[in-house]
């Protein structure tokens, strides 16, 4: 009996939706979308389900070899082919990594095959003794989608200065502030938080750029790190607090606050309402747990590299905001280490075309 050939292009749309909802790997999405235009449209609708990864490095090689760790499938991806093996990465935003060399700052999207690199000038501080290297950065929009993007960066090491760059400018614009610790783009506005817990709004649209205080400082003596993050329309502040159990063991707890935009104050919340946070040195990202198979809702996934009492503590852990418990994760290969600043990345594939 002759076998009837199936035309995959004629599959019912509800079957295609079921298939597309099972995809989580980047390569699977790309192969799926390459079949035809109707399949590509489903790819665009479901790309928010792409998994976040943690960037790690290995000391097995003489070079700084980097890996992407998929915590939910327990898989390591070698990213040598992404041309990142010798780059000192400073952060991630909107699908783009940033790194520096002696003459320029580079935005690089490792998940795009063309138009994946943007060269910017280095930050030149007014005072020569100030370090112009970028510590953290955030983009207003994905440059692959909108060429009118703005880059906001924290530079100067512990001094925490702010600067921003717009395409076409010859230099960065330096803002008159310092001690900044976190920055976010939220509802068409940049916001920054300093080491004292003060929240600032950054005006970069008018000729005279400025920062203005919107929430005064809070008592944060026990906070080791903080981030502000856009979480599905809410502006959240995430505090990481070091807890010393004894002389040789430490742990972290977290507190999450939501900005009351009427009263202009931070209000603590005990639930993320099904969301999940990925907390690293450079940024914190917020996703829906239901979009990530195996992900626990109302939890904070975090990585840290801490030297305490003569022992180097490298850890991946999951903190439950509801009950305060911590569950530790362990890498599949003990010879894979954290980079000095563990970076969470999430491919957006915006700007990708088949």
**What are the tens digits of pLDDT across the range 242-258?**
887 665 566 789 999 99
How many angstroms separate the CA atoms of 198 and 310, rounded? 34
Matching CATH number, 50-345, of 2.120.10, 3.30.1490, 1.25.40, 1.10.1060? 2.120.10
- Residue positions counted in the chain: 354
> Tokens 């079949």 map to which residue?
35
The pair of structure tokens assigned to 312 is: 């180097």
pLDDT digits (tens, 9 = 90+) for 263-317: 999 999 999 999 999 998 888 999 999 888 788 999 999 876 554 444 445 567 8
Residue 147 has pLDDT above 80, yes or no: yes
Is residue 238 within 8 Å of 258, Cβ to Cβ?
no
The pair of structure tokens assigned to 27 is: 């390569």
Is residue 238 within 8 Å of 279, Cβ to Cβ?
yes
Question: Is 328 or 263 the better-scoring residue by pLDDT?
Answer: 263
Is residue 151 within 8 Å of 137, Cβ to Cβ?
yes
Q: What are the residue boundaries of the structural domains of the chain, listed by start?
A: 11-49, 50-345
Question: Backbone phi, then psi, for 16, in 5-degree steps?
Answer: -60, -40
Question: Is 61 or 266 the better-scoring residue by pLDDT?
Answer: 266
pLDDT digits (tens, 9 = 90+) for 266-278: 999 999 999 999 9
Q: Which helix (H) or strand (E) holds 41?
A: helix 37-46
How many Cα neighbours within 13 Å face the side chain of 334?
1
Predicted model pTM: 0.83
How many Cα neighbours within 13 Å face the side chain of 218?
19
pLDDT digits (tens, 9 = 90+) for 96-129: 999 888 778 999 987 777 888 999 999 998 887 7
Average pLDDT rounded to a whole number, residues 337-354: 63
Residue 174 has pLDDT above 80, yes or no: yes
Helix (H, G, I), strand (E, B) or coil at 15: helix
Closest CA to 347 of 114, 142, 63, 84: 142
Residue 211 has pLDDT above 50, yes or no: yes
């Amino acid at each position: 009996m002759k076998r009837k050939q199936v035309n995959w292009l004629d599959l019912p749309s509800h079957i295609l939706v079921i298939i597309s909802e099972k995809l989580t790997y980047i390569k699977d999405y790309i192969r799926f979308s390459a079949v035809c235009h109707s399949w590509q449209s489903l790819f665009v609708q479901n790309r928010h389900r792409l998994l976040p990864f943690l960037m790690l490095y290995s000391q097995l090689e003489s070079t700084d070899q980097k890996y992407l760790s998929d915590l939910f499938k327990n898989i390591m991806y070698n990213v040598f082919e992404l041309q990142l093996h010798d780059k000192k990465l400073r952060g991630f935003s909107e699908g783009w990594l940033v790194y520096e060399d002696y003459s320029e700052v580079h935005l690089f999207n490792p998940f795009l095959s063309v138009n994946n690199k943007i060269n910017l000038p280095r930050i030149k501080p007014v005072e020569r003794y100030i370090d112009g290297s970028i510590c953290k950065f955030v983009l207003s929009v994905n440059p692959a989608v909108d060429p009118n993007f703005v880059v906001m960066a924290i530079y100067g090491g512990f001094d925490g200065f702010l600067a921003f760059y717009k395409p076409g400018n010859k230099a960065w614009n330096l803002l008159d502030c310092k001690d900044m610790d976190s920055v976010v783009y939220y509802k068409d506005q940049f916001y920054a938080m300093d080491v004292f817990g003060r929240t600032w709004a950054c005006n970069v649209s008018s000729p005279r750029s400025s920062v203005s205080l919107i929430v005064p400082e809070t008592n944060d003596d026990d906070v080791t790190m903080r981030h502000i993050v856009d979480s599905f329309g809410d502006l959240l502040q995430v505090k990481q607090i070091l807890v010393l159990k004894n002389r040789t063991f430490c742990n972290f707890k977290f507190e999450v606050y939501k900005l009351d935009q009427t009263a202009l104050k931070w209000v603590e919340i005990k639930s993320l309402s099904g969301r999940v946070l990925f907390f690293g040195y450079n940024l914190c990202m917020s996703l829906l747990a239901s979009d990530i198979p195996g992900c626990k809702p109302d939890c904070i996934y975090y990585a840290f590299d801490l030297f305490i009492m003569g022992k180097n503590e490298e850890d991946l852990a999951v903190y439950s905001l509801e009950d305060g418990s911590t569950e530790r994760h362990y890498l599949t290969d003990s010879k894979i280490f954290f980079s000095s600043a563990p970076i969470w990345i999430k491919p957006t594939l915006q700007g990708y075309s088949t």
